[in-house]
Structures are given as C-alpha cells and as structure tokens.
C-alpha cells in the first residue's frame, strides 16, 4: 500500500500519494486511475515511474473511490468529460506548482484527454493507457462480466481491501453509468481535435474492454496524437506490458525535452 495523505475539497476529502522527484524542474506526472481503481491499485507503478523518469509522481483517488469521500449516485452522464476534469483541475491547483503530464488509465485516460481539450497551460503532454473515447459493444460486455464477477465471483472480495466503504458505490458508479441507455452515445469526438499538447495513446491488442478502433479514432481526430498497439497485452499496459510501457513514456518525455 502507498502512504496515504488527504486533501480537503470543499466538503469532500480526497486521498492522494505524492512521490518526490529527483529534479524539481521536471514536470509532475499525475496518475488518473481506471473506473474501479484508486491510489492503492496502482501498486508499485508510481515508484517504477518515478525511478524511470526522475519526475515527481502524484496519484489520487477520485471522489467515490478508495478512501476518498463517497459520491452521490447516479453519476451524471458527462462525469468523464466534465465532472472528472473539474475535480482534476482542483487537484492540480492544490497539489502541484508547475507543469504536469497527465497519465490516465481506462476511464482515467478519458478524463485526461477531456482535460487536455481545456488547454490548461500547465499540461505539457498526455499519456492515455487503454483510455476510452467512445462506447463500444465489447466494453459493455466486459462491464457486465465484471458486475457478474462482483456479485457471484471473487471480485468483491478482491476490491474490498482497496475501496472500503466505497466498495459498492465504486462498482455502481462505474458500471451503472456505462450501461445506461443515455450513455451509449457518449464520446470525446469534440474534445480530441482541441488537444494541442502531444498525446500518446497506448492500448493492448487483447484489451477485453475495447477494440483498436479506439486508437483509430484518436489518431484520426487528434492531430497531436501518437498511437501504439501493444501485442500480448490486455487492458492494463502498466501491469501486463510494464517495461514496454515505461520505455514508451520515457521516449515521450524525451520528445517533450524532459530529461
């Protein structure tokens, strides 16, 4: 488990973990977790990232996840493109003092790309690991499978140590939103062309929540994007293709003249 700290945002409390960097002039790498994730579920990836880059690494649990405050359900339809980015902006305002690079996984990648469209001058680049830009049938199948594993399998037990009292809210806030009829046409088609900073989008060829069409859309709609499809990798590049993912991020930072 990572050392846990807390940030008060209005009436809510948000947990975070900050690893210091070797060079205070380098940007902070800000990690945005997946739809069932939190600070602790990054496990040793923040430390590996800090070691590989020399940058400070900030990970936080969005409201409704981990040991952060609970969230009121249902989540709004636009939580990935509005609510999540608004919360991220508050985190950057309070916990960072210079430039940042956003690194988001799955839903966190979607939030990172949506925030990139806001053109915050603090953001120098974005890395999306299996981020979503539209709703695919395969994603919904994967979510239904996860819900069934939560109800009848061992997923509930495996997630309980990470989410505590937020366990049911985290699952419902993620799954019920994605499976709603009015969420089927959610996408980031308007946001992608507005991203001006370099964007690296990485996805596993065997991703159980998305097809390569996600990368195709990003490449087509975002002029600043570079896309990479990893072989023998599913939905978690930072775990299932750790070394290659770190190499890609290191090369991305060199492209941004962060070395």
Distance CA 203, CA 138 (A): 14
What percent of the chain clears pLDDT 70, i.e. is strictly above it?
98
Residue 199's DSSP bridge partners are 126, 225
For the record, the structure tokens of 29 come out as: 């790498």
The predicted-structure confidence for 89-101, as pLDDT tens digits, reads as follows 999 999 999 999 9
Determine the pLDDT at residue 99: 97
- Domain CATH code at residue 117: 3.40.50.1820
- For the segment 157-161, the average pLDDT, to the nearest whole number, is 95
How far is 158 from 57, CA to CA, in rounded Å?
Answer: 25
Q: How confident is the model at residue 2 (pLDDT cuts 50, 70, 90)?
A: low
**227 confidence band (pLDDT: 50, 70, 90):** very high
pLDDT at 4: 83
Cα–Cα distance measured from residue 139 to residue 154, given in angstroms and rounded to the nearest whole number: 20
pTM for the predicted model, two decimal places: 0.97
Residue 106 CA: distances (Å) to CA of 129, 189, 196, 243:
6, 17, 21, 19
pLDDT band at 1 (very low <50, low <70, confident <90, very high): low
Tens digit of each residue's pLDDT (9 = 90 or more) over 121-134: 999 999 999 999 99
Q: Quickly list DSSP for 189-221.
A: TTTGGG--S-EEEEEETT-TT--THHHHHHHHH
Residue ranges making up the domain that contains 182? 5-257
* Domain tally, the chain: 1
pLDDT at 214 over 80: yes
């Amino acid at each position: 488990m990572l050392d846990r700290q807390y940030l008060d945002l209005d009436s809510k409390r948000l947990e975070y973990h900050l690893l210091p960097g070797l060079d205070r002039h380098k940007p902070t790498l800000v990690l945005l977790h997946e739809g069932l994730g939190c600070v602790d579920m990054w496990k040793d990836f923040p430390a590996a990232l800090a070691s590989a880059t020399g940058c400070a690494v900030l990970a936080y649990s969005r409201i409704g996840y981990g040991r952060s405050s609970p969230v009121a359900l249902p989540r709004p339809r636009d939580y990935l493109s509005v609510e999540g980015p608004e919360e991220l902006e508050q985190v950057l305002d309070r916990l960072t003092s210079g430039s940042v690079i956003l690194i988001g996984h799955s839903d966190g990648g979607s939030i990172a790309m949506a925030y990139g469209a806001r053109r915050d001058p603090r953001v120098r680049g974005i890395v999306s690991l299996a981020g979503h830009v539209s709703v695919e049938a395969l994603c919904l199948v994967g979510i239904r499978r996860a819900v069934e594993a939560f109800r009848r399998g061992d997923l509930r037990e495996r997630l309980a140590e990470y989410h505590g009292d937020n366990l049911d809210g985290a699952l419902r806030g993620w799954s019920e939103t994605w499976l709603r009829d009015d969420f089927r046409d959610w996408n980031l088609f308007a946001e992608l062309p507005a991203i001006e900073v370099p964007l690296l989008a990485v996805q596993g060829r065997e991703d159980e929540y998305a097809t390569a069409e996600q990368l195709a859309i990003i490449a087509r709609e975002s002029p600043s994007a570079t896309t990479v499809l990893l072989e023998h990798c599913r939905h978690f590049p930072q775990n299932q293709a750790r070394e290659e993912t770190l190499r890609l991020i290191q090369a991305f930072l060199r492209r941004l003249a962060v070395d």
